[in-house]
Structure 1
C-alpha cells in the first residue's frame, strides 16, 4: 500500500514563546532523528531570543489520528512518521485501533488479511478457499453467521473505516 501521508511537526522555541514571540518551524517528520534535531537546532539558532535551547511540538499534521505530545521525543516522532509514510492508510488504521501504540500497530499490520465490503464477504471468500462448495448448496450458507462466529471466537479482528471499507486482521 502506498503512502498519502506527509507527517509534519511544528516545533516552537520556548524561550521566544515565553517572551511573547511566536517563533518556530514546520519540519518533515519522516526524516531521521539527526536530521530532525539539525532542523530544530537551526530553528533555535534563528530565535529572536539569544541562547534559546528548549523547544516543544506545538502542532502536527498528517499523523493519521496518532497523538503526538508536546514533549514527544524526536525518535518516537520519526518512527511513527516513517511507519505512516511507509504503510499509508493501513498504518493509520492500525495506529487508531492500537490507541497510538506503535508496537501493537506493527503487530496488527503483520496479521492483516485485507479490506472487504463486509465481514460476511470475507467469510464467503474464506469458505470458498477452504472448502469445495457444491453449487446447489452455496445459496444455503449463512455467511453473516459465519462472520459473527469468526469475530466472536477471536479468529479475526475487524476495523470499520467507512462505507464498505472493513479491514480484517487475523486474531492473535
Structure 2
C-alpha cells in the first residue's frame, strides 16, 4: 500500500496574520484541480483579499524534498513521476534533482531491484557468460560489484532492507 503523495498549501496572508489556514491536496490530481482547490482555500481565508500561498509541507515524496518556493506545476510533475515509479521515484529524483534526468534513468538505465549489488553482478555474469562449473565457486561477485560501482558503471539506490535498485550510469 503506497502513501498518498500530497502537499500542504498554506494561505500566506493568514499565516502572516497569525492564523493557520491551508489545505492538504493530492499532488497527483490534474493541475487545474489542484489550482481550483488552492483558489477555494484562499477564498475561504480568514484574511480578506488573500492571494498568495506556499507549500509548507509534503508527504509521500519518498526522500525528495519539496520547497515552499516550488510551484504547483513543479510539485505536480514530481508527484506524478513518483506515482509512476513508487519503489524508487523519490530517491531517484533526490539523486538527480532533475525530472528529465530521473525519467531517462528510470526508462533507459534501470536494471532492477536486488537484495544487493553483488546479486546483480552474479545475475549479469551468469546471463552473459558461460561459466564452467569447476570455476564458478572462484568468482568473487562482491569484488565485481564493488568495481562496477567504483568505476562509475552503475549507481544504486537503497530504498529499504535488501532493496537495492541498480541503474547503469550512462
Q: Say if 2:134 is the partner of 1:151.
A: no
Report 1:123-162 matches (<5 A).
123-162=121-160
Q: Say if 2:123 is the partner of 1:102.
A: no
Report 1:25-36 matches (<5 A).
25-36=23-34
2:63 and 2:23 map into 1 onto residues whose CA distance is 21
Select between 9-18 and 154-163 the one with higher mean Cα deviation: 154-163
SS of corresponding position for 1:56: strand
Q: Say if 2:10 is the partner of 1:12.
A: yes
Do the aligned partners of residues 78 and 65 (structure 1) sit closer, same or farther apart at CA in structure 2, a change above 3 Å counting? same
Once the 2 structures are TM-superposed, how far is the Cα of residue 28 of structure 1 from its aligned partner?
Answer: 0.9
1:66 and 1:93 map into 2 onto residues whose CA distance is 6
Q: Say if 2:87 is the partner of 1:89.
A: yes
Aligned to 2:74: 76
Once the 2 structures are TM-superposed, how far is the Cα of residue 88 of structure 1 from its aligned partner?
Answer: 0.3
Query: TM-score normalised to the size of structure 2?
Result: 0.91
Gaps of 5+ in 1: none
1:122 and 1:150 map into 2 onto residues whose CA distance is 10
Once the 2 structures are TM-superposed, how far is the Cα of residue 45 of structure 1 from its aligned partner?
Answer: 0.6
Gaps of 5+ in 2: none
Aligned to 1:47: 45
- Quote the RMSD (CA, aligned, Å): 1.6
The answer to whether the 8 Å contact 1:114/1:169 transfers is: yes
Once the 2 structures are TM-superposed, how far is the Cα of residue 170 of structure 1 from its aligned partner?
Answer: 1.0
The answer to whether the 8 Å contact 2:31/2:72 transfers is: yes
1:51 and 1:6 map into 2 onto residues whose CA distance is 31
Query: TM-score normalised to the size of structure 1?
Result: 0.90
Residues paired across the two proteins, number: 169
The answer to whether the 8 Å contact 1:116/1:166 transfers is: yes
Please list the CA deviations of residues 72-120 of structure 1 after superposition, one character each: whole Å capped at 9, or x if unmatched.
111101001111112102212212322x322222122121101112211
1:46 and 1:133 map into 2 onto residues whose CA distance is 70
